[in-house]
Amino acid sequence: MAYDEFMADRIRQHFKDLKSPFEEKKMMGGLCFMVDEKMCCGTHIDKKTNTPLLMARIGTDFYEEALTKKGVLPMNFTGRPMKGYVFVTPEGWDTEQDLQFWIQKCLDFNPLAKSSKRRTK
């Protein structure tokens, strides 16, 4: 599991500042932040460039507009972009204000997001 611990700390602090309860879960090759048992956002390291990325679950309504913002890439693990999810490079979350923007977008979408089906053991 590769992720940037400094980036994870910044995300944690924003959730705490917003008084938004969250859980952390190692998944998708990085660290995900769960809100209401749904993936909200996370941090991941691009294996090709060794660049820390913000994984943002923003929904399909904002998806196309998000792709026009600086540092935003389609989230692509399997050769096919995941609609409603984007990667944001450091250029897009460098300042605290930029990071807060993305976390807020993720939190705004979270109530609309569907929960994953629970796996039975």
- In tens, the pLDDT along 31-79 reads 999 999 999 999 999 888 999 999 999 999 999 999 999 999 999 877 7
> Please, which residues have CB within 8 angstroms of residue 102's CB and are 6 or more apart in sequence?
41, 54, 56, 58, 88, 92, 93
- Are the beta carbons of 22 and 96 closer than 8 angstroms? no
Kindly indicate the confidence band of residue 1, based on its pLDDT and cuts at 50, 70 and 90.
low
pTM here is 0.90
Percent of the chain with pLDDT over 70: 94
The DSSP H or E segment spanning 24 is strand 23-27
Q: pLDDT grade, residue 2 (50/70/90)?
A: confident
Which strands make up the sheet holding 30-35, listed edge to edge?
23-27, 30-35, 38-45, 52-57, 81-88, 72-76
pLDDT at residue number 85: 96
For the chain, the domains span: 5-112
CATH architecture of 5-112: Alpha-Beta Complex (3.90)
